Amino acid sequence: MEFIRDNFWNILVVINYLVAISAAIIILLKNINPAKTISYIIVLVFFPFLGILVYYLFGQEYRKTKIFNRKGMLNRTIIKKVNDDFELGKAEFDKIDAALDEKIKLVKLLKNSEDAPLTLKNQMTVLKNGEVKFKQLLKDLKAAKHHIHLEYYILKDDHIGSRVLDIICEKASKGLEVRLTYDDVGSSLSASSKKKLKESGVQFYPFMPVLFSGFTGKMNYRNHRKIAIIDGKIAYVGGINISDNYINSETKRDYWRDTHLRISGDAVKSLQIQFLTTWDFVSDEPLKITSRFFPELEIEDNLALQIAASGPDSNRATIMEAIFTAITTAEDYIYITTPYFIPNPQIFTALQVASKSDIDVRLIIPKDSDSWAAEYATNSFLEPLLEAGVKVYRYHKGFIHAKTMVVDDLFSTVGTSNMDNRSFNINFEINALIYDRKQSKVLKSHFLQDIKDCELVNYKQWQERPGLDKLKESFSRLWAPLL
């Protein structure tokens, strides 16, 4: 005992490095992305004790396997049952094939990898900023007749959140089926709000509850989706959470730029499927799926939409693969807006190659991020892009949170996925893939309007930025696969 007392810290250090070496061997044997492997090993070696904690929270895969095996089985069962109704006849598919040209590769990619059917009978409205979204969403919630399904990463009971909660509580008290799931890390609901939800008859569950949500902002496997479904007829998807932060008003100091979609038509069924599989997972209660969740709609418009969902319950990085395919099949231009740009090697190389091939590649990112580590990590990628001819714009009017991409006036995507490893591989995300010239041109016009509130990054001036900034970028780049 005396020896242990005299050498307590030395013993702890030895134990730390024995555990660290064991963890490093396990990481190496997994044959994961080399950059991610090196990042974890650096953390384990150079940050005693803290490195093991980081690996425990973010690096282990056994939790993923254990938690999501059941969800994956449920997904396959439910998705197959409903998606069989979406199968297009050969004549219909040939017609779409001719219209989409090279973009048909995207349709086939998702259809083959994750059973994401192409839906044709849809109507869609692009909603610019939170104040526009919530004006329409509140109206649709008040008009609900049968059920309301909400799935959000951030749900707060502030001013706008309370308005949403008041409506769904009122609807539930009148007998409507109201289901709500929110991410336990991203959201913040008071005890009184939860009591009100329960007493009114709203069924609600947090997604993967954690003990100290305030200290786990970067915890893995979070549900980053933002979905609202009303009566199986109308759906919302995009980047806007339920919080006052997302609404611009005369009294609000900071401007928030974001994009969301309002959809009606067959694509709502795909979003409904994703909600129901999540609900089955979080509630752990059997839910009888009836035809009332999937009503037949009389939609005259032909607007081709696919819903791409990805997450740790899948073996495929579906959204990343769709974005990669869109980049590599581009012929004229690629316009991307993202609040967090920490690309993996595939996307990074694809953008450089596209720009060098005389394709107009433009990227809008925030000038000032809400995360210094993410900002410096993003900046570390800019010089090679600028050298390749990519036009990089830094948004300075406020914070740009929109997650959009437009390619060749034909393909566009709006959703929850950022351009980073966390969205591509770790969190649950969902994007709408749009094959429509009219809607793509709407999103293109929004992009070109946003450029007016940006500063174009000059390549030569960027090269001359302070050395200290370059050092911070290099340090943050080491952590990029973990951010």
Residues 29, 77 within the same domain: no
Please report, for the domain that includes residue 81, its CATH number. Answer: 3.30.870.10
Q: Has residue 33 been placed in a domain?
A: yes
Residues 270, 409 within the same domain: no
Bridge partners of 366?
395
Residues 378, 264 within the same domain: no
Residues 129, 177 within the same domain: yes
Q: Has residue 169 been placed in a domain?
A: yes
Q: Has residue 103 been placed in a domain?
A: no
Confidence band of 289 (pLDDT split at 50, 70, 90)? confident
Residues 171, 289 within the same domain: yes
Residues 243, 334 within the same domain: no
Q: Has residue 308 been placed in a domain?
A: no
Q: What is the pLDDT of residues 356-390, one digit of tens each?
A: 999 999 999 999 988 888 899 999 999 999 999 99
- Structural domain total, the chain: 3
pLDDT at res. 316: 76
For residue 299, pLDDT beyond 60: yes
pLDDT at res. 131: 96
- b/e per residue 278-316 (b: at least 16 CB within 10 A): bbbbbeeeeeeeeeebbeebebeeebbbbbbbbbbbbee
For residue 106, pLDDT beyond 90: no
For residue 425, pLDDT beyond 90: no
Q: Which region among 64-73, 422-431, 464-473 has the lowest average model confidence (pLDDT)? A: 64-73
d(CA 419, CA 417): 7
pLDDT at res. 150: 98
Residues 425, 476 within the same domain: yes
Residues 328, 248 within the same domain: no
Name the pairing type of β-strands 411-415 and 429-435. Answer: antiparallel
Q: Has residue 313 been placed in a domain?
A: no
Q: What mean pLDDT do residues 208-229 have? A: 75
Give percent above pLDDT 90 in the chain: 59
Domain that residue 404 falls in: 318-482
Confidence band of 215 (pLDDT split at 50, 70, 90)? very low
Domain edge (last residue) among 299, 331, 357: 299
Q: What mean pLDDT do residues 313-322 have? A: 83
For residue 340, pLDDT beyond 90: yes
Residues 335, 416 within the same domain: yes
Whole-model pTM: value is 0.84
Q: Has residue 236 been placed in a domain?
A: yes
Q: What is the pLDDT of residues 148-204, one digit of tens each?
A: 999 999 999 999 999 999 999 999 999 999 999 999 999 999 999 999 999 999 999
> Please, what is the average pLDDT of the chain?
83
Q: What is the pLDDT of residues 8-62, one digit of tens each?
A: 555 656 666 666 666 556 555 555 555 565 565 656 555 665 555 555 555 555 4
Q: What mean pLDDT do residues 382-402 have? A: 97
Residues 393, 421 within the same domain: yes
Residues 137, 228 within the same domain: yes
Residues 295, 332 within the same domain: no
Report yes or no: 121 and 263 within 8 Å, Cβ to Cβ.
no
Q: Has residue 307 been placed in a domain?
A: no
Using a CB cutoff of 8 Å and minimum separation of 24, what contacts does 105-108 make? 105/325, 105/329, 106/306, 106/322, 106/325, 106/326, 106/329, 106/411, 106/433, 106/435, 107/306, 107/435
For residue 472, pLDDT beyond 50: yes
For residue 123, pLDDT beyond 60: yes
Bridge partners of 435?
304, 411
d(CA 292, CA 231): 8
d(CA 116, CA 106): 11
Q: What mean pLDDT do residues 85-93 have? A: 51
Burial class (CB in 10 A: 0-12, 13-18, 19+), 81: exposed
Q: Has residue 110 been placed in a domain?
A: no
Catalytic center residues:
224, 226, 231, 401, 403, 408
